[in-house]
C-alpha cells in the first residue's frame, strides 16, 4: 500500500484523499460567498419566480406595446346590427398582428377580415342554413353572437379577407366561396369570466397580452355610459336585469380608471361606430365591475388564438351549427366519417364546456360489433380554458377515398358539447329569439353509456323538438395528402440437416411492417420450393401496422422420399399492394445416406476373423 506522510504523520492513500476532498469542500464554501452570497442566490430565485408569477401591469394598451401597435383600425358598422361581426374580426385581426401570420401569408397593409361574409353566410339566418335550407332563422344584418361566429369559422366558411367580401357592399351577399378567397382559421377560441370578485381577471389580462384583442359584449344604454370629458366610461350595475346588446373589443386596461362603478378599474375597448364617436376616436372604457363585460359566460371575454392562413385543406364535421348545448352526463363520444378522397388527417377539434379538462383523442379504422377497432393514432393532454380547441396529431393518419374512420374523444369533466336545434338570440343577449333547426342522421355520432355505444340520433331530449337533430362537436382536419407507406421485412432461418426421407420438420420466420407509423401492410407467402409438402400458418395477413410488431409464421414440411440428397430453394413473401416490396428466405434440407450392408461381404469377413482368432470360434459356439 502507498504510504503518504502529511504533517509528519503517516496515513494510507485512501485516508489521505478523503481528507483532501473534505478540505476542498470547505474551501469552496468559504471562498464562494466572497462573490455570491446566499442572500444573493435567494434573491435571484425570488426574482425569477416573481417574473413567472408577476402581476399584470396596472395599465396596458395593445396600441402601444414598446412602440408596437397590435390593434387594427376602428370600423363603422353603420345602421346595421352587425356589431358582433366586428367584435369577432377585431380579435382575429389583432391575433394576426401579434403572430405575424398576416404578413407571413403575403398579405399587405394591416389585417382586415370580412364582417359582411360572416353576416351573410354564418348558417343561422334566412340566407343560409344547410341544415334547414327553406326554414327560418335570423335576419341578415340583425342577429348573431360569438358562438354563431365560431360555428361559421371552424367549419371553414371563413374568415375571409375584407377585399373578398367588402362591408360597403353589405346589401348584396358576396359569393359563398370563391377560389380567390383567403380563409383564416383560429386554432383555439377561448371564453373567460373574470368572476364577481374579479378572482380570474388576471387570466383575461394575461391572454390579452399574449394573444391580442379579446371580443366582449355589454348592454349599451345612455343610463349606463358617462361622459368624463376626455373619455367615455360605461358601467351597468350587476343588479340590472338588462342583457348584453352590443359587442366591442377589449384592447387594454387601467386599474385606476374612474367610472361610475364604486371601485376604479376599467377595460379599454374599441367600438365599431367610427372614429368620430367619443372623445377618444372610437375608443372608450367599461368598468371591471360591469354586469356583462368580462362576466357573461358566452360573450363576456372571447379570445381567437393561433389564427392562420388556410392550415387545413378540408374539414369533416356533422355539427354544422357548432356548440349549441352540452350533455353533461356523457364523457365519451365519437363521430363517424367517410373520406371523400385521398387525404391525411393532421388534427382534430372539439369543444370543452369547463376549465381544466383532461382529454383523450383516438382515431380508429373500424367500428364493428359495437366496438371501435384498429386504432390509428391517439393524443392526450389537458386544456386549461373552456372553448374550442384544435389538437394536432403527432402521428397523422392517411386515408384513401371512401374509407371509413372514427374520431373518439373522452373529456374528464363538463360533458360533451353538441349541436342541436336551438333558440338563438336575435342579437347577442336579446330576449327575442328564433328557432334555428339543426339536422342529424343515424350513424353519425355515438355516445357511451356503461359499456355500450348508442347512436345519438336516438337520444331522447327533454324537448322533443330537439330529437334527431343532435351531433357531437368533433371534427377531423385534413392537410396535404401524405401516403403512409408500409415496408415489408422478414427474418428467420429455414435450414435442416439429417432429415429422414418422408419425415416431418418444422421451423418459422417473422413478418413485420417497418414502414410509416400509421401504414397498414397486407402480405402473403407467394412462392416456395416444389419439393416436399409445405404448410404455412398463417400464409397471409392484412392491416399489419408497425406498432403490431412481428408476426410469426410457422412452417411445416414433409421431406421428400429421396435419400442422400440436399434440397434447396426459396420462400418468397410479398406486400400484396406492392409486389416490388418482397422478402426472400433461403431454404436447405438434407437427407442422410442410407446404410446398405452386403451380407456376403460380412460373412466373408467373419470367416477371416474366426480363422485368425480361435477364441471367436469358441465364443460363437
pLDDT at 387: 98
Nearest to 417 by CA among 134, 137, 87, 189: 189
- Rounded to an integer, the average pLDDT of 356-360 is 98
Residues 384, 358: Cα–Cα separation, whole Å: 9
pLDDT digits (tens, 9 = 90+) for 578-618: 999 999 999 999 998 765 444 455 556 667 666 776 665 66
The chain-wide mean pLDDT, for the chain, equals: 89
Whether the predicted pLDDT of 453 surpasses 90:
yes
User: CB within 8 A of 130, min separation 6: which ones?
Assistant: 123, 320
Q: Write out the CATH class of domain 488-591.
A: mainly beta
Residue 555, CB half-sphere, CA atoms under 13 Å: how many?
22
pLDDT digits (tens, 9 = 90+) for 257-303: 999 999 999 999 999 999 999 999 999 999 999 999 999 999 999 99
* 524 vs 35 pLDDT, higher one: 524
Q: How far is CA 539 from CA 214, 456, 510, 529, in A?
A: 62, 42, 12, 15
Rounded (5°) CA angle 610-615-616: 45
Q: Which three cell numbers stand for residue 231?
A: 373619455
pLDDT at 519: 86
Question: Sign of dihedral through CA atoms 484, 485, 490, 491?
Answer: negative
CB neighbours of residue 127 within 10 Å = 17
Question: Which residues of the chain does CATH 2.60.40.10 include?
Answer: 488-591
pLDDT digits (tens, 9 = 90+) for 75-98: 999 999 999 999 999 999 999 999
pLDDT at 611: 72
Q: Which three cell numbers stand for residue 529?
A: 420450393
Whether the predicted pLDDT of 238 surpasses 60:
yes
Topology of 59-122+157-304 in CATH?
Cathepsin B; Chain A (3.90.70)
pLDDT at 618: 66
Whether the predicted pLDDT of 53 surpasses 90:
no
Alpha helices in 524-589 (DSSP H): none
Nearest to 422 by CA among 88, 132, 190: 132
The CATH number of the structural domain formed by 312-479 is: 2.60.120
* Rama region for 189: left / alpha / beta (φ>0; ψ in -120 to 50; rest): beta
* 38 vs 515 pLDDT, higher one: 515
pLDDT at 135: 79
Residues 514, 489: Cα–Cα separation, whole Å: 7
pLDDT at 605: 61
Whether the predicted pLDDT of 115 surpasses 60:
yes
Q: How far is CA 444 from CA 38, 245, 315, 377, 473, in A?
A: 64, 36, 15, 20, 11
Residues 378, 607: Cα–Cα separation, whole Å: 86
- Rounded to an integer, the average pLDDT of 339-364 is 97
Q: How far is CA 584 from CA 472, 510, 516, 523, 603, in A?
A: 49, 12, 22, 13, 53
Prior bond to 538 cis, omega within 30? yes
Q: Which three cell numbers stand for residue 238?
A: 350587476
Burial 471-494 (b: 16+ CB within 10 A, else e): bbbbbbbbbeeeebebebbbebeb
Burial 236-270 (b: 16+ CB within 10 A, else e): beeeeebbbbbbbbbbbbbbebbbbbeeebbbbbb
pLDDT at 30: 33
Nearest to 349 by CA among 160, 159, 156: 156
Global confidence as pTM: 0.78
Rounded (5°) CA angle 359-360-361: 120
- Match 367517410 to its residue by C-alpha cell: 338
pLDDT digits (tens, 9 = 90+) for 185-212: 999 999 999 999 999 999 999 999 999 9
Residues 375, 313: Cα–Cα separation, whole Å: 23
Nearest to 176 by CA among 141, 130, 134, 137: 130
Whether the predicted pLDDT of 233 surpasses 50:
yes
Whether the predicted pLDDT of 111 surpasses 60:
yes
- Match 383516438 to its residue by C-alpha cell: 362
pLDDT at 614: 67
pLDDT at 361: 98
Residue 426, CB half-sphere, CA atoms under 13 Å: how many?
9
pLDDT at 2: 35
Whether the predicted pLDDT of 560 surpasses 60:
yes
Answer yes or no: are the C-beta atoms of 581 and 534 closer than 8 Å.
no
pLDDT digits (tens, 9 = 90+) for 308-329: 999 999 999 999 999 999 999 9
* 337 vs 431 pLDDT, higher one: 337
Whether the predicted pLDDT of 42 surpasses 90:
no
Answer yes or no: are the C-beta atoms of 389 and 322 closer than 8 Å.
no
Q: Which three cell numbers stand for residue 144?
A: 348573431
Question: Which residues of the chain does CATH 3.90.70.10 include?
Answer: 59-122+157-304
Angle between helices 146-154 and 83-99 (to 10 degrees): 50
Residues 386, 188: Cα–Cα separation, whole Å: 10
Residue % of the chain over a pLDDT of 90:
81
Residues 457, 435: Cα–Cα separation, whole Å: 20
Alpha helices in 173-322 (DSSP H): 201-211
Q: Which three cell numbers stand for residue 448?
A: 357511451
pLDDT at 43: 34
pLDDT-based confidence at residue 159 (cuts at 50, 70, 90): very high
Q: Looking at 155-264, which runs of residues are DSSP E strands?
A: 184-185, 188-191, 214-218, 225-227, 232-234, 246-254
pLDDT at 17: 39
pLDDT at 10: 42
Could you tell me how many residues make up the chain?
621
For the chain, the straight-line distance linking the first and the last C-alpha, in angstroms and rounded, comes to 81
Q: How far is CA 151 from CA 28, 72, 323, in A?
A: 64, 24, 7
Amino acid at each position: 500500500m502507498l504510504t503518504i506522510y502529511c504533517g509528519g504523520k503517516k496515513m494510507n492513500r485512501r485516508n489521505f484523499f478523503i481528507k483532501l476532498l473534505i478540505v476542498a469542500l470547505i474551501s469552496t464554501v468559504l471562498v464562494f460567498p466572497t462573490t455570491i452570497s446566499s442572500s444573493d442566490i435567494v434573491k435571484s430565485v425570488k426574482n425569477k419566480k416573481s417574473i413567472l408569477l408577476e402581476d399584470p401591469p396596472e395599465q396596458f394598451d395593445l396600441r402601444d406595446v414598446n412602440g408596437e401597435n397590435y390593434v387594427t383600425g376602428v370600423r363603422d358598422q353603420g345602421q346595421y346590427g352587425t356589431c358582433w361581426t366586428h367584435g369577432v374580426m377585431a380579435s382575429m385581426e389583432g391575433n394576426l398582428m401579434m403572430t405575424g401570420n398576416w404578413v407571413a401569408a403575403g398579405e399587405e397593409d394591416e389585417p382586415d377580415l370580412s364582417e359582411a361574409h360572416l353576416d351573410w353566410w354564418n348558417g343561422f339566418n334566412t340566407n343560409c342554413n344547410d341544415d334547414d335550407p327553406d326554414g327560418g332563422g335570423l335576419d341578415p344584418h340583425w342577429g348573431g353572437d360569438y358562438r354563431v361566429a365560431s360555428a361559421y369559422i371552424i367549419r371553414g366558411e371563413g374568415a375571409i379577407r375584407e377585399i373578398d367580401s367588402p362591408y360597403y357592399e353589405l346589401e348584396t351577399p358576396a359569393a359563398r366561396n370563391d377560389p380567390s378567397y383567403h380563409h383564416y382559421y383560429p386554432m383555439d377560441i377561448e371564453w373567460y369570466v373574470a368572476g364577481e370578485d374579479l378572482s380570474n381577471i388576471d387570466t383575461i389580462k394575461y391572454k390579452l397580452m399574449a394573444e391580442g384583442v379579446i371580443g366582449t359584449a355589454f348592454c349599451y344604454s345612455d343610463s349606463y355610459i358617462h361622459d368624463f370629458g376626455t373619455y367615455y366610461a360605461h358601467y351597468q350595475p350587476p343588479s340590472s336585469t338588462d342583457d348584453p346588446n352590443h359587442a366591442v373589443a377589449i384592447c387594454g386596461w387601467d386599474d385606476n380608471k374612474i367610472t361610475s362603478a364604486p371601485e376604479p378599474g376599467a377595460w379599454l375597448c374599441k367600438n365599431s361606430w367610427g372614429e368620430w364617436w367619443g372623445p377618444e376616436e372610437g375608443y372608450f372604457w367599461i368598468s371591471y365591475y360591469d354586469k356583462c363585460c368580462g362576466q357573461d359566460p358566452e360573450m363576456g371575454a372571447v379570445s381567437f388564438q393561433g389564427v392562420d392562413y388556410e392550415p387545413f385543406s378540408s374539414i369533416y364535421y356533422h355539427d354544422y351549427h357548432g356548440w349549441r348545448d352540452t350533455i353533461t352526463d356523457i364523457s365519451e363520444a365519437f363521430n363517424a366519417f367517410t373520406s371523400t378522397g385521398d387525404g391525411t388527417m393532421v388534427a382534430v377539434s372539439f369543444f370543452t364546456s369547463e376549465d381544466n379538462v383532461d382529454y383523450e383523442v383516438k382515431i380508429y379504422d373500424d367500428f364493428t360489433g359495437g366496438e371501435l377497432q384498429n386504432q390509428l393514432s391517439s393524443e392526450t393532454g389537458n386544456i386549461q380554458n373552456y372553448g374550442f380547441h384544435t389538437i394536432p396529431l403527432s402521428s397523422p393518419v392517411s386515408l384513401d377515398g371512401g374509407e371509413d374512420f372514427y374520431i373518439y374523444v373522452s373529456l374528464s369533466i363538463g360533458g360533451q358539447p353538441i349541436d342541436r336545434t336551438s333558440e338563438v338570440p336575435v342579437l347577442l343577449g336579446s330576449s327575442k329569439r328564433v328557432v334555428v333547426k339543426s339536422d342529424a342522421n343515424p350513424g353519425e355520432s355515438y355516445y357511451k353509456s356503461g359499456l355500450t355505444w348508442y347512436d345519438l340520433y336516438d337520444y331522447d331530449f327533454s324537448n322533443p323538438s330537439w330529437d334527431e337533430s343532435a351531433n357531437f362537436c368533433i371534427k377531423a382536419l385534413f392537410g396535404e395528402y401524405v401516403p403512409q407507406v408500409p415496408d415489408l421485412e422478414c427474418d428467420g432461418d429455414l435450414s435442416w440437416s439429417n432429415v429422414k426421407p418422408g419425415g416431418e420438420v418444422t421451423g418459422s420466420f417473422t413478418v413485420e411492417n417497418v414502414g410509416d407509423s400509421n401504414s397498414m401492410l397486407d402480405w402473403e407467402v407467394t412462392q416456395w420450393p416444389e419439393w416436399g409438402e409445405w404448410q404455412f400458418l398463417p400464409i397471409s395477413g392484412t392491416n399489419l401496422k408497425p406498432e403490431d410488431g412481428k408476426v410469426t409464421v410457422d412452417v411445416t414440411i414433409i421431406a421428400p422420399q429421396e435419400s442422400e440428397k440436399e434440397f434447396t430453394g426459396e420462400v418468397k413473401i410479398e406486400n400484396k399492394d406492392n409486389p416490388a416490396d418482397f422478402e426472400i428466405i433461403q431454404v436447405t434440407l438434407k437427407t442422410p445416406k442410407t446404410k446398405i450392408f452386403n451380407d456376403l461381404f460380412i460373412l466373408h469377413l467373419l470367416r477371416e476373423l474366426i480363422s485368425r482368432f480361435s477364441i471367436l470360434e469358441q465364443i460363437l459356439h
